Amino acid sequence: MRGRRFAAHDDAEHLGGRFFGERLTVGERVQCAAQRGVHEELRLSPLSNSDNELHLSRVTSRPFLAVIQYDGGGFAGWQRQPVDRTVQAEIETVLERLMRHRTAVTGAGRTDTGVHALGQGVSFLGTERWQPDDMRRALNALLPRDIWVQQVCVMRAGFDARRSATARRYRYLIGTDEAAASPFRKPYEWALGRELDERALHGAAVALLGEHDFRGLAAAGANTSHYRCRVALAHWAPRADGMGMAFTVEADRFLHHMVRFIVGTMVDIALGRRSPDDFPRLLAATDNLAASPPAPPQGLYLEAVRYPSDLYAAEPTT
Residue-level pLDDT at 13? 35
CA 117 – CA 109 distance, rounded (Å):
9
Q: Which CATH architecture has domain 167-305?
A: 2-Layer Sandwich (3.30)
- Verify whether residue 112 is a known catalytic residue: yes
Decide: helix, strand or coil at residue 24. Answer: strand
Domain chopping of the chain, boundaries: 4-164, 167-305
DSSP 3-state assignment of 285? coil
CB atoms within 10 A of CB 289: 7
Instruction: Report phi then psi at 181, rounded to 5.
Output: -80, 0
DSSP state of 296: P
Per-residue pLDDT, 226: 87
On whether the 4-164 domain is CATH 3.30.70.580, my answer is yes
User: Where do the DSSP E strands lie in 81-216?
Assistant: 106-107, 116-127, 147-154, 167-175, 190-191, 210-213
pLDDT digits (tens), the chain, 318 positions? 445 566 655 433 333 343 333 444 444 444 444 344 344 444 444 444 444 444 444 568 899 999 999 999 999 999 999 999 999 999 999 999 999 999 999 999 999 999 999 999 999 999 999 999 999 999 999 999 999 999 999 999 999 999 999 999 999 999 999 999 999 999 999 999 999 999 999 999 999 999 999 999 998 765 677 889 999 999 999 999 999 999 999 999 999 999 999 999 999 999 999 999 999 999 989 888 999 999 999 999 999 999 999 999 976 655
272 CB neighbour count, 10 Å cutoff? 10
SS3 at position 139: helix
Predicted local distance difference test score (pLDDT) of residue 39:
44
The burial of 16, by beta-carbon neighbours within 10 Å (0-12 exposed, 13-18 middle, 19 or more buried), is given as: exposed
How far are the Cα atoms of 8, 62, 133, 135, 153 from residue 318, in angstroms, in the given order? 10, 19, 8, 12, 9
The one catalytic residue in 112, 133, 177, 278 is 112
Residues facing 228 on adjacent strands: 213
pLDDT at position 225, please?
A: 77
pTM here?
Answer: 0.82
Per-residue confidence (pLDDT) for residue 317, from 0 to 100:
59
Contact 79, 110 (CB under 8 A): yes
Question: What does the pLDDT read at residue 55?
Answer: 41
pLDDT at 60: 82
Question: So what's the pLDDT on residue 221?
Answer: 67
Coil/strand/helix, residue 281: helix
